[in-house]
Amino acid sequence: MEQTLLPDPRISDSPTALRILDVAAQLFMQRGYRAVSINDIIQVAGITKPTLYYYFSDKEELFVQMGLRVLAAMHQPLTDLVGADRPLNERLQAMATVLMDYEGDMRMMRHEMMEHLGDAARARLSVAFYRHLFAPLTRVMDEAIAAGLIRSDLSAATAAMLFLSLCETFHEMAPPNPMAQWVGSVSPSLLVDLFLHGVGQSTTPNSSAGAVQA
């Protein structure tokens, strides 16, 4: 279903506002939205309550601005890779790197968004998620389907969601996350190889992601 791409609300570039957002992000990811109070944020950030409310109307707005900031930071590198003059597998590996290098927990952020935010706040983050992250992935998947690298009975949106889910899983298996000690090393190249070829034993002895060309 086509999304309406509305402009993002302006994210403040004030050093104080960014410090508040950094602290809020850390606390939200550690404790969850409901367990974090405005008082927790101002104490850790070392500011007064009037200072916080000068930049953010309430805790919900803080969470929304945190999410918008995260998603906006991913937009340019992902968009640049869509039209880059590089083989498709290299672009997918670079996209996986962007998504795996995110320091927070995208799944938790989406869960907290759906569980605790109001309709208007959820809509703002959903539009930003589509524009900054999902749309670039979908454009690359369209190209992969046209090139015969992905099954033609899958939609580009379905392929993008599967790729994103795999990136989020690999993110959880990479240091410093606890699961890293259980599974050994993971890499963007392995992720793309599994995405394109699956986990079954290859019938082609030298099959690898590096051999895939657009």
Pair (91, 192) in one structural domain:
yes
Pair (50, 84) in one structural domain:
no
Pair (34, 104) in one structural domain:
no
Domain assignment of residue 142, yes or no: yes
Interatomic CA distance for residues 28 and 25, integer angstroms:
5
Domain assignment of residue 108, yes or no: yes
Residue 7 pLDDT > 90: no
- Report the CATH number that the domain containing residue 39 is assigned in CATH: 1.10.10.60
- For 18-54, write each residue's pLDDT tens digit: 999 999 999 998 899 999 999 999 999 999 999 999 9
Neighbours of 152 (CB within 10 A): 8
Backbone dihedral region of 118: left (phi > 0), alpha (psi from -120 to 50 degrees) or beta?
beta
Domain that holds residue 48: 11-56
Residue 189 pLDDT > 50: yes
DSSP code, position 211: G
Residue 96: predicted pLDDT = 95
- Report the CATH number that the domain containing residue 141 is assigned in CATH: 1.10.357.10
At residue 177 the predicted structure's pLDDT band, cuts being 50, 70 and 90, is low
- For 91-114, write each residue's pLDDT tens digit: 999 999 999 888 777 888 888 999
| Residue range 2-27: mean pLDDT, rounded | 73
